[in-house]
């Protein structure tokens, strides 16, 4: 229980009530985890009210607040059995911002405050790893320099020492990285509060109608290390497989890994099965924590954790990123397990994800015994076949005649964009998955393989090729593809069934009397010139049914709802589920907007 | 600054099949002057026009390549300008990595498309884009001091970042609007052509 007397600092020990408005998002998350009985590293927060006081005092941390922070720190030292700056049992802390609504422009995170030359030595002894101790120190100097002092310094190279980083920071910013742990802490807190009024944060708040009167909290949390002592390590745990959506725990385990402040490549990554073999109790506790957090948050969780001397600490949990097919499967599984309702499940899957799952794929075995023309890096997934064309103007002309073309270029420049739009897929000789070509094709959703090698595409012009951009392979000739049918996939067919029940607009096969065909009317065919929504509403008013490519856009689906059209018919290439999701999402958007207007 | 006869064709080469208005926006010049210059280029065989849009001919490309070294000699010989261009390349690599993170997210050892349904993830990337935008501003100042017409790109990048910050996700890497990447990509091409450098990717 808290023993602090001042309300200027809040210990996050589960005795306090959650509340984003006062504690900020990060501290609120910690409190919620503590109240679920989960172990997170000890922390206290300086609430949002102190940010207001800071700015009311002209950008100065109030002395009484600082005294409260020192009380909070003593509480943290008692909780952890360590002390800031004490080489015999050193405590290191992180400092983070935490506004009720997170926003760009806020100072984000500084890790490892409290490190000094003496603490570095102590860490070297405790971990048996002097390189780790030195890296921790140099990375602290670089991060403090960048984040708090605004220095433009590169990430330290392995082997650099802290003094050289301090000198670099001082030269660039004219300010010193403090050597005293308490000075480090005080400056970092000041920097978080000051960032509330950064230019970017002010602009963002103006755009989003967020009051400048609010403020951010500051959370100070003990660092835990997965490389101090036996039975330690760090990892990440997905409560379901993020690629397939199967209800199998999935993750990585790095025995002896440091935790939050990981340097890559120093430890061999193992699986959660290895963790189960090495530390069965920790593994069981982790899985149980995953079940608790899934129930609490109603979604697949991605959990960062560290084990320090056999004790599991959860560092962070959030909704897991997942592949399109995992998104479909987990949404259905969560609704069937009554962890969310069907409306939520339908909102959780985007029309683009369904379209991606339904994309044709190479027929099984089709690629065997086929000549591989090139291997490259996949930049945007998908499968496509067509005639290879070496320049963008020709690609545009051929596509204009209705031919399927694959644009093949050494590299792409802005003048290739119209050719990339016209092509079914794109191949480049140079560049990696972060080239301009990769960025453009992902924006367009065109399958793309990059970096097949200089000169490799010579002589391709005019040949028919098949691109498997999911694997990064170019095949000679046209390989058979097969369509994915929603009926063959249990999760897709459930989702389709629920979407039909939930949608106020029916998707029909045939256009009845009184239908409006927006394609025939030439509306919305050019995606670069979207039609005025009110114009579309006008065309659709009174219609018994609507059809058109534009309906599979947020604006088009919104117009169907606004005009009160009872049914839509699928245009060629439009799947009923994709249309239904567009309509359902547009419906919830309209409800959110009207609720916002009413408030 | 190079004359409009060259600049208009240069702008057209950066933009590809484009209207005179689009080329004028790119160059920060008046549409009437650009229209005139492009019509003159058609008469010289350096461009062709159809349906209100123009395109550079192979002859026009050859003429541009011949004319660049002299037209932009001042920039090519200015170490301040070329050093700034080197810095631009470094920022370019960071931008492309950032845009990749915006479009696709690591999940289970692979990358999956960003569905823009996690506001925290997107806001963190917009924050990184803001840092990069500030870094780029210093380099762009160096360019515009020597070549004032490049101010037009600065305005487009500012506007795209502002709209992205205001929640218009398409203004980060979209292709069909004047997104941050569209303006940046054209600026990159413009610089490469002026300096006679080749694209690394």
| Residue A226 contacts residue A314 (beta carbons within 8 Å) | no
pLDDT value of position A596: 65
Out of B15, B108, B126, closest to residue A242 by CB: B108
What is residue B173's DSSP assignment? H
Q: Is the pLDDT of residue A11 over 70?
A: yes
| Residue A188 contacts residue A110 (beta carbons within 8 Å) | yes
ipTM over 0.90: no
DSSP, residue by residue, B101-166: HHHEEEETTEEEE--S--HHHHHHHHHHHHHHHHHHHHHHHHHHHH-GGGHHHHHHHHHHHHHHHT
Model confidence pLDDT, tens digit, residues B150-176: 999 999 999 999 999 999 999 999 998
CB contact under 8 A, A436 and B167: no
Find the residue in A nearest to B100 (Cα): A434
Q: Among A172-176, B13-17, B30-34, B191-195, where is mean pLDDT lowest?
A: B13-17
Q: Pick from B26, B29, B47: which is nearest to B38 by CA?
A: B47
CB contact under 8 A, B175 and A417: yes
CA–CA gap between residue A73 and residue A84 (Å, rounded): 8
Distance of CA A73 to the CA centre of its chain: 32
CB contact under 8 A, B93 and A434: yes
Q: Pick from A522, A508, A515: which is nearest to A570 by CA?
A: A508
pLDDT value of position A165: 94
- Please compute the mean of the pLDDT values over residues A200-227 and round it to a whole number: 94
- Torsion, Cα A190 A191 A197 A202, to 10 degrees, reads -150
Q: In chain B, what are the helix, strand and coil shares in percent, each to the nearest 5?
A: 70, 10, 20
What six digits make up the tokens of B25? 């926006």
- Please compute the mean of the pLDDT values over residues A44-48 and round it to a whole number: 97
pLDDT value of position B198: 84
CB contact under 8 A, A435 and B117: no
Find the residue in A nearest to B118 (Cα): A319
Residue indicated by tokens 């300086």: A46
Which residues, at least 6 apart from B6, have a Cβ–Cβ distance to it below 8 Å? B64, B67, B71
Model confidence pLDDT, tens digit, residues B34-86: 999 999 999 999 999 988 889 999 999 999 999 999 999 999 999 999 999 99
Find the residue in A nearest to B57 (Cα): A393
CA–CA gap between residue A102 and residue B122 (Å, rounded): 11
Number of helices (H), then strands (E), in chain A:
20, 25
Taking the CA of residue B78 and the nearest CA in chain A, the distance in Å comes to 25
Residues in chain A closer than 8 A to B167 (CB atoms): 207-208
Out of A104, A208, A433, closest to residue B100 by CB: A433
- Backbone Cα Rg of chain B: 18
Higher pLDDT among residues A397 and A154, named by residue: A397
Residues in chain A closer than 8 A to B115 (CB atoms): 327, 350, 352-353
Question: pLDDT-based confidence at A336, cuts 50/70/90?
Answer: very high
Q: How far apart are the first and last CA of chain A?
A: 39
CB contact under 8 A, B120 and A442: no
CB neighbours of residue B182 within 10 Å:
21
Taking the CA of residue A595 and the nearest CA in chain B, the distance in Å comes to 19
CB contact under 8 A, B107 and A356: no
Find the residue in B nearest to A201 (Cα): B127
CB contact under 8 A, B17 and A104: no
Find the residue in B nearest to A210 (Cα): B166
Out of A319, A431, A527, closest to residue B201 by CB: A431
Model confidence pLDDT, tens digit, residues A489-546: 999 999 999 999 999 999 998 899 999 999 988 888 776 677 888 999 999 999 999 9
CB contact under 8 A, A438 and B199: no
Q: Is the pLDDT of residue B15 over 90?
A: no
Question: pLDDT-based confidence at A1, cuts 50/70/90?
Answer: very low
Taking the CA of residue A393 and the nearest CA in chain B, the distance in Å comes to 9
CB contact under 8 A, A434 and B99: yes
Residues in chain A closer than 8 A to B126 (CB atoms): 104
What six digits make up the tokens of A176? 């010193």
Find the residue in B nearest to A433 (Cα): B100
Taking the CA of residue A200 and the nearest CA in chain B, the distance in Å comes to 8
Find the residue in B nearest to A348 (Cα): B117
pLDDT value of position A126: 86
Question: pLDDT-based confidence at A104, cuts 50/70/90?
Answer: very high
Find the residue in A nearest to B178 (Cα): A528
What is residue A365's DSSP assignment? T
CB contact under 8 A, A319 and B118: yes
Q: Is the pLDDT of residue A563 over 60?
A: yes
- Please compute the mean of the pLDDT values over residues A182-202 and round it to a whole number: 96
Q: Which secondary-structure segment (H or E) carries A444?
A: helix A436-444
Find the residue in B nearest to A99 (Cα): B120
Helix axes B119-146, B79-103, angle to 10 degrees: 160
Q: What percent of chain A has pLDDT over 70?
A: 97
- Please compute the mean of the pLDDT values over residues A372-380 and round it to a whole number: 94
Residues in chain B closer than 8 A to A208 (CB atoms): 166-167
Residues in chain B closer than 8 A to A528 (CB atoms): 176
- Please compute the mean of the pLDDT values over residues A387-402 and round it to a whole number: 92
Taking the CA of residue B70 and the nearest CA in chain A, the distance in Å comes to 23
Interior CA angle at B131 toward B133 and A59, to 5°?
Answer: 125
Higher pLDDT among residues B176 and A164, named by residue: A164
Q: What percent of chain B has pLDDT over 70?
A: 98
Residue indicated by tokens 């990595």: B97
CB contact under 8 A, A321 and B182: no
Model confidence pLDDT, tens digit, residues A307-327: 999 999 999 999 999 999 999
Write the CA distances from A2 to A16, A46, A220, B55, integer angstroms.
9, 14, 16, 73
b/e string for A449-459 if b means 16 or more Cβ within 10 A? bbbbeeebbee
Find the residue in B nearest to A441 (Cα): B175
pLDDT value of position A261: 67
Distance of CA A452 to the CA centre of its chain: 29
CB contact under 8 A, A443 and B173: yes
pLDDT value of position A598: 47
CB contact under 8 A, B100 and A241: no
Out of B15, B96, B182, closest to residue A434 by CB: B96
| Sign of the torsion angle spanned by Cα atoms A527, A529, A533, A534 | negative
DSSP, residue by residue, A271-316: -HHHHHHH-HHHHHHHHHHHHHHHHHHTS-EEEEEEEETTEEEEEE
Q: Is the pLDDT of residue A597 over 90?
A: no
Residues in chain B closer than 8 A to A350 (CB atoms): 115, 117
CB contact under 8 A, B100 and A430: no
CA–CA gap between residue A203 and residue A191 (Å, rounded): 18
State the SS3 of A112-169.
EECCCHHHHHHHHHHHCCHHHHHHHHHHHHHHHHHHHCCCCCCCCCCCCCHHHHHHHH
Taking the CA of residue A162 and the nearest CA in chain B, the distance in Å comes to 25
Residues in chain B closer than 8 A to A322 (CB atoms): 107-108, 112
Find the residue in A nearest to B189 (Cα): A413
| Residue A152 contacts residue A81 (beta carbons within 8 Å) | no
What six digits make up the tokens of B59? 């002859």
- Please compute the mean of the pLDDT values over residues B90-119 and round it to a whole number: 90
Residues in chain B closer than 8 A to A207 (CB atoms): 162, 165-167
Taking the CA of residue A436 and the nearest CA in chain B, the distance in Å comes to 7
pLDDT value of position A266: 54
Residues in chain A closer than 8 A to B118 (CB atoms): 318-319, 321
- Torsion, Cα B73 B79 B80 B81, to 10 degrees, reads 40
Out of B100, B162, B189, closest to residue A414 by CB: B189
Q: How many CB pairs under 8 A join A and B?
A: 140
Residues in chain B closer than 8 A to A444 (CB atoms): 175
Taking the CA of residue B1 and the nearest CA in chain A, the distance in Å comes to 23
Out of B16, B111, B162, closest to residue A414 by CB: B16
According to the per-residue pLDDT averaged within each range, which of A13-17, A153-157, B133-137 is highest?
Answer: B133-137
According to the per-residue pLDDT averaged within each range, which of A14-18, A265-269, A424-428, B46-50 is highest?
Answer: A424-428
Q: Pick from A362, A162, A330, A174: which is nearest to A243 by CA?
A: A330
| Residue A192 contacts residue A106 (beta carbons within 8 Å) | yes
- Mean pLDDT taken over chain A: 92
């Amino acid at each position: 229980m808290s023993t602090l007397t001042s309300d200027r600092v809040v210990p996050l020990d589960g005795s306090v009530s959650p509340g984003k408005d006062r504690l900020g998002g990060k501290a609120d998350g910690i409190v919620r985890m503590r109240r679920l009985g989960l172990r997170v590293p000890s922390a206290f927060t300086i609430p949002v009210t102190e940010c207001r006081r800071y700015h009311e005092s002209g950008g100065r941390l109030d002395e009484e607040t600082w005294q409260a922070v020192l009380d909070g720190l003593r509480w943290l030292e008692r909780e952890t059995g360590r002390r800031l700056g004490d080489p015999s049992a050193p405590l290191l802390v992180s400092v983070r911002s935490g506004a009720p609504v997170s926003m760009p422009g806020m100072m984000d995170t500084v890790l490892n405050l409290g490190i000094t030359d003496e603490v570095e030595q102590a860490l070297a002894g405790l971990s048996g790893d002097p390189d780790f101790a030195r890296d921790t120190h140099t990375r602290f100097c670089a991060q403090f320099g960048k984040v708090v002092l605004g220095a433009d310094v590169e990430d330290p190279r392995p082997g650099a020492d802290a003094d050289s980083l301090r000198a670099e920071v001082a030269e660039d910013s004219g300010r010193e990285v403090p050597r005293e742990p308490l000075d480090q802490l005080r400056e970092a807190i000041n920097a978080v509060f000051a960032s509330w009024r950064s230019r970017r944060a002010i602009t963002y708040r103006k755009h989003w109608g967020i009051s400048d009167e609010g403020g951010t909290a500051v959370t100070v949390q003990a660092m835990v290390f997965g490389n101090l002592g036996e039975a330690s390590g760090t990892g990440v745990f997905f409560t379901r497989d993020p690629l397939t959506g199967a209800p199998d725990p999935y993750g990585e385990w790095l025995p002896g890994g440091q935790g939050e402040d990981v340097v890559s490549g120093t430890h061999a990554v193992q699986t959660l099965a290895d963790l189960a073999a090495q530390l069965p109790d920790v593994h069981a506790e982790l899985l149980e924590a995953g079940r608790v957090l899934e129930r609490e948050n109603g979604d697949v969780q991605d959990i960062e954790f560290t084990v320090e001397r056999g004790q599991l600490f959860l560092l962070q949990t959030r909704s897991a990123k997942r592949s399109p097919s995992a998104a479909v499967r987990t949404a259905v599984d969560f609704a069937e397990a009554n962890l969310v309702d069907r409306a939520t499940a339908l909102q959780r899957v985007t029309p683009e994800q369904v379209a991606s799952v339904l994309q044709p794929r190479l027929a099984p075995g089709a690629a065997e015994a086929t000549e591989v023309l090139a291997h490259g890096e996949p930049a945007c997934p998908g499968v496509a076949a067509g005639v290879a064309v070496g320049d963008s103007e020709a690609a545009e002309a051929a596509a204009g005649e209705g031919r399927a073309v694959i644009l093949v270029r050494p590299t792409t420049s802005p003048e290739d964009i119209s050719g990339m739009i016209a092509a079914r897929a794109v191949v480049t000789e140079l560049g990696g998955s972060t080239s301009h070509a990769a960025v453009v094709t992902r924006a367009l959703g065109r399958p793309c393989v990059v970096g097949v090698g200089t000169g490799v595409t010579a002589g391709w012009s005019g040949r028919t090729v098949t691109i498997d951009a999911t694997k990064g392979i170019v095949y000679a000739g046209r390989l058979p593809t097969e369509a994915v049918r929603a009926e063959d996939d249990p999760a897709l067919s459930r989702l389709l069934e629920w979407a039909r029940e939930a949608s106020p607009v029916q998707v029909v096969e045939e256009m009845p009397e009184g239908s409006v065909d927006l394609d025939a009317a030439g509306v919305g065919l050019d995606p670069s010139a979207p039609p005025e929504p009110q114009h579309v509403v006008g065309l659709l008013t009174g219609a018994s049914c609507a059809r058109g490519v534009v309906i599979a856009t947020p604006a088009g689906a919104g117009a169907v709802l606004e005009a009160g059209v009872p049914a839509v018919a699928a245009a060629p290439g439009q799947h009923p589920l994709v249309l239904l999701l567009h309509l359902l999402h547009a419906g919830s958007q309209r409800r959110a907007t009207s609720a916002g207007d009413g408030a | 600054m190079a004359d409009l006869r060259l600049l208009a064709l240069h702008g057209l080469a950066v933009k590809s099949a484009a209207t005179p208005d689009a080329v004028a926006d790119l160059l920060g010049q008046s549409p009437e002057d650009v229209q005139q210059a492009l019509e003159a280029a058609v008469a010289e065989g350096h461009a062709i026009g159809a349906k209100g849009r123009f395109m550079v001919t192979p002859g026009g490309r050859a003429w541009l390549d011949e004319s660049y070294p002299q037209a932009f000699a001042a920039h090519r010989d200015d170490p301040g300008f070329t050093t700034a261009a080197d810095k631009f390349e470094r920022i370019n690599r960071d931008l492309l990595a950032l845009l990749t993170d915006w479009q696709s997210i690591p999940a289970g050892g692979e990358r999956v498309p960003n569905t823009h349904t996690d506001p925290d993830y997107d806001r963190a990337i917009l924050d990184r884009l803001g840092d990069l935008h500030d870094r780029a501003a210093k380099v762009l100042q160096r360019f515009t001091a020597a070549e004032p017409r490049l101010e037009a790109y600065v305005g487009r990048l500012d506007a795209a970042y502002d709209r992205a910050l205001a929640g218009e996700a398409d203004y980060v890497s979209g292709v069909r609007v004047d997104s941050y990447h569209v303006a940046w990509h054209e600026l990159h091409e413009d610089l490469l052509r002026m300096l006679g450098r080749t694209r690394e990717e």
